[in-house]
Amino acid sequence: MHKCEVWSEPYHTYFQLACFVGALTYFCPNNLKGLIALRLLLGISGVLFCLWTGTIICAIDSFIYNFIFAFVNFGHVAYLCYQMRPVKFKEDEHETLYKAVFEQLAIKRYQYKPLVQWATTERLSKGEFYSVENETRGEKISIMLIGSAIVKKNGKVLHKIKPYEFLDSPEWVQSTQGIFAAPVTFEVSIQSEGCTIISWKRTDLIRTLRKQPLVKNKFNSIIGQDVAMKLFKSNKLFDRNDENNNECMRVDVRHLMYNGNGKTGFDENAGKVRKHVMVTGIYHLNLAFKHENEEIITDQVRINRG
């Protein structure tokens, strides 16, 4: 091992400042603003090293390397600042929906903006049908913004759809699960009571969410919660005995199970449907909680990859 008998004089002030600024990067917090500070400090450190190598020691190779490092870091700072710019939506409906639903899940505006690109706003007059039982294909998914709608099966009311609830979340779950997932036909009729909805075509939304895994997981959590709420509301309305004709009616998310034999037995197939829907809802909710703690890291990795 080489032994230093004589220590050289300290390097120039540029070198000392560059090292000091580089040391400050270790104190940057683990969030988006901290990432900007990290890149900014690294860029400043690179500039100081450029001054040292270009004007003091005159080392062309070190000057070029540090110039590239500084240029890349300042470019990344500009990109991160661009990502943090205020994002406004042209339509007031999307502004309302974002604040009421997606902002609550910590989805940032620039993450929600791609969804706006493929969304359409529709207004359904009172009595107009969004879907007709056994006829309408589930080619899109819609969320209620203003007003309400009634869900019917065989002419019997299952439940109402209120603002910020999906009109066709069960059909969405059915059409996106498994390898051979495809649009399904509605088993219910959805009749408007006068409402405004925001809709996405199935293929466009799937393609957009595929590019944003974090948004996809949180979107699925909303769907899972919506399906579970429909299940509970439907059962609360129909899981009872009819005192007049001693009939028992049960409903499993858009599917009316009607037993007219005077017995109160539980349909085995209905139980399987119920279990599948509840597991789906709980799975998506748990998935959202799992990814909640990874949000900042995932965001930074996505930004770093550009």
60 has a pLDDT exceeding 70:
yes
Dist. CA 243–CA 264, nearest whole Å:
12
- The residue ranges of every structural domain in the chain are 13-84, 92-210
273 has a pLDDT exceeding 70:
no
272 has a pLDDT exceeding 50:
no
Q: Is 115 helix (H, G, I), strand (E, B) or coil?
A: helix
Q: What pTM did the predictor assign?
A: 0.60
Mean pLDDT of all residues in the chain? 78
- Residue 117's nearest CA partner among 90, 92, 144 is 90
What is the phi/psi pair of residue 287, to 5°? Answer: -65, -40
Average pLDDT, stretch 124-135? 92
Contacts of 72 (CB under 8 A, 6+ apart): none
295 pLDDT band, cuts 50/70/90, is very low
pLDDT 10s digits, 19-28: 999 999 999 9
Edge to edge, what strands does the sheet with 256-259 contain? 240-242, 247-251, 256-259
In CATH, the number for domain 92-210 is 2.60.120.10
Dist. CA 29–CA 136, nearest whole Å:
52
Average pLDDT, stretch 155-174? 89
Average pLDDT, stretch 102-124? 90
Running DSSP on this structure, what letter comes out for residue 25?
A: G
Residue for token pair 């913004």:
145
- Residue 222's nearest CA partner among 88, 75, 77, 97 is 97
Q: Give me the half-sphere count of Cα atoms (radius 13 Å) on the Cβ side of residue 236.
A: 8
173 pLDDT band, cuts 50/70/90, is confident
pLDDT score at 179:
62
What is the phi/psi pair of residue 192, to 5°? Answer: -75, 145
pLDDT 10s digits, 209-236: 998 888 999 998 899 889 888 887 766 6
In the chain, the percentage of residues whose pLDDT exceeds 90 is 40
Q: Give me the half-sphere count of Cα atoms (radius 13 Å) on the Cβ side of residue 187.
A: 14
149 within 8 A of 160, measured Cβ to Cβ: yes
